[in-house]
Structure 1
Amino acid sequence: MSFSAGPARPADITVPGDGWYPDFNATAMRDALRLTTMVTPERLLGAVQGGMLSVEGELAEWRGECEAEGAASLADVKPERMVAGEHRLTLLYTRAVRMYAAAELAETHRDLTATQDGQARADTEATTAQEYLRMATHAIRDILGTPRTAVELI
């Protein structure tokens, strides 16, 4: 009788930052969100790259202001508040990228079967994607120091 250990753990994937933003550990994202091996390394990499582009695009003006004040990297932005030994803004950046990437994976990984069970799973994934996008928005607003809620008078 032989036992298999299950699928091999995918290789570590680290997506390099641009020098101002930190590198992103996609393997830590896989572990944190309990992504199965159904999410291939290529899909994970693409989603992370998309998440980085989204977050960095939303923070472009803010980054310019930080650089003008002398910050050579995200970790140099003052005040240097730490959470569990890590710079608070680095944690928020990582969270925002992770949530955008997770939303992309949830939106694009639909069960294409026509059964009611498959449709129910697709509906659940859509809700999950919306929740990931909400969490990404919260992280970005926390970085910018803006309220999480937008209210307009009609």
Structure 2
Amino acid sequence: MSFIATAPTPSKTPANVIKNDGFFPDFDMREARDALRLDGTVTDSRLRHALLGAIVEVGGDLAAWKEAMRARGSDTLASVPTGDLIDGQSRRTLAYVRAVYSLVKADLIERMADYDTTGAGQKRIEWLADAPDEHRRNARWSTADVQGRPRNVVELI
């Protein structure tokens, strides 16, 4: 007899929207779950916690820039001049969402090691060891993109 364990399916609860501060866009947890390719092993409460943490962190990184944009008359991120739209959204909005999602993914990967894992699970965690750093790098690049700053990587030798 064999047993195949599968991850639980994500909950089918109605969309749960996390309201942002009014300047930055709100987040729909179902859209986040789909974009981040999360299965049911990540509970809604865990995803919500990770999203809230990422929104706070990115918002903190962009606080001074946001106030400068408000002083120039932009009430929302979408109203900040950006040039061409991509799929109906500003480049800055897309970069902001990517920054938040990157931090969420980094947080969830780091928390994966909280579980008692099998040998195969431990190998997967080792394989993902650098992934949180890469997601955090992507978040930093995306916050630079929101602000229209160049991406810089400086190494002291």
Shorter-chain TM-score above 0.5: yes
Which amino acid counterpart does residue 87 of structure 1 have in structure 2? S
Per the TM alignment, residue 28 of structure 1 is displaced from its structure 2 partner at its CA by 1.1
Partner of 1:10: 12
Partner of 1:133: 136
Per the TM alignment, residue 14 of structure 1 is displaced from its structure 2 partner at its CA by 1.5
In structure 2, relative to structure 1, the CA distance for the partners of 1:65 and 1:135 (3 Å cut) is same
The C-alpha deviation readout for 1:110-148, integer Å capped at 9, x for no partner, is: 164475433322222332212211211111111122222
Which segments of structure 1 move beyond 6 Å, counting only runs of 4 or more? none
- For 2:102 and 2:156, the matched residues in 1 are separated by 30
The C-alpha deviation readout for 1:2-24, integer Å capped at 9, x for no partner, is: xxxx7364322221111111111
Per the TM alignment, residue 93 of structure 1 is displaced from its structure 2 partner at its CA by 0.8
- Stretches of structure 1 that go unaligned for 5 or more consecutive residues are 1-5
Q: Considering only aligned residues, what root-mean-square deviation do their CA atoms show, in Å?
A: 2.1
The normalised TM-score by structure 2 is: 0.84
Partner of 2:100: 97
The normalised TM-score by structure 1 is: 0.85
Per the TM alignment, residue 40 of structure 1 is displaced from its structure 2 partner at its CA by 0.2
- For 1:114 and 1:91, the matched residues in 2 are separated by 35
The percent of aligned pairs where both chains have the same amino acid is 37
- For 1:95 and 1:88, the matched residues in 2 are separated by 11
> Matched residue pairs, number?
149
- Stretches of structure 2 that go unaligned for 5 or more consecutive residues are 1-7
